[in-house]
Amino acid sequence: MVDKALGGAGLRGQVAGETALCTVGTTGHQLTYRGYGIETLAEKAEFEEVAYLLLRGHLPNVNELQDYKARLKSMRGLPEKLKEVLERMPKDAHPMDVMRTGCSMLGVLETETDFSQQDDRIDRMLALFPEIMCYWYRYSHDGVRIDTLKDDESIAGHFLHMLHDKPPKELHRKAMHASLILYAEHEFNASTFTARVCASTLSDIHSCITGAIGSLRGPLHGGANEMAMAMIEGFDDPDHAEREMLAKLERKEKIMGFGHAIYRESDPRNAVIKRWSERLAEDVGDTRLYPVSVRCEEVMWREKKLFCNADFFHASAYHFMGIPTKLFTPIFVTSRTTGWAAHVKEQRAKNRIIRPSAEYTGPEHAEWVDIQDR
């Protein structure tokens, strides 16, 4: 019999498969990508190095990284028909709907017809997802058709350049590298598991990633950094933040950006992005949002023993780089596509269709009644 507790617990703690890609919440390093601690990767690597690690199985050497970055750069440039679709999407469209539709349309235009094409299709998505995001945003909000074929060497720099019409500060480029690395992979989370279920049916890569984007769109998975931003923007100073946080707790309101389904004592990604938020705050002369965020963290730990997850300080970090709040979760898509796609490749390499069972809770027997007698 299926354990009735499993459904209520959202399958937490249940092993649903094997992966060589990531560990979450285990002893030692709490988060590793193919054995490398997240702290080390965020400090020393560029996002493209981590993408290569996840998708190709090892860290690249100098020549491999140079070739891979050149390959991704060469794959930039939105198809005209995709631009037409993006221009038809209204300003008030949910940005995650834009990303989901953009991915699906790309699958129509550049369909994966054989699994031997998977690396080409994955790298194309990595190159284009920042363009999909920025092209729609700049067209719908600013009325301009941006040139996406800029000469930036990295995905991080390319995104910021398209968004702001100028090459980013080195500090911002490095902060974006760290952010993309922190979000790149996280084991069998909801969106990744969605991608693997889709892959297990031998579906195409664009369908797998589109399904994952759909899962990330839900407020219980993606979007916590957006809600954290909306909250901290409403606080005047740390003391005001503390009063309001205590009132929220008294009202038993859910406060986004704290706690985690797997981690029990801390989220190792938080310390990294918190340091970046502090540096970015100093760079822009912020005296409110970062201190407010720190006070929120202190209150939640003191009152509830709840720690910040990766999303909370991402809110202020992105804000300090001039990134509109509505683009926070689409950035997550750009990053996590590496993890999703790596899991699709892993699922395909040793595939069995993922088809769990359910415990039936309906009536044991129902008597048929003809329609005229119902």
> Is 311 known to be catalytic?
yes
Task: Considering the candidates 29, 221, 240, 283, report the single residue annotated as catalytic.
Answer: 221
Residues whose CB is less than 8 angstroms from the CB of residue 135 and which lie 6 or more positions away in sequence, other chains included: 78, 83, 86, 145, 146, 148, 162
Quote the CA–CA distance of 90 and 249 in Å, as a whole number.
37
Residue 90, CB-side half-sphere exposure with 13 Å CA sphere: 3
CB 196 within 8 A of CB 347: yes
370 is annotated as an active-site residue? no
Catalytic residue, chosen from 311, 314, 319, 343, is 311
CA angle 117, 123, 129 (to 5 degrees): 125
Catalytic residue among 260, 314, 319, 343: 260
Tokens 């699958």 -> residue: 107
> Does the active-site annotation cover 29?
no
Q: Which active-site residues does the annotation give?
A: 221, 260, 311
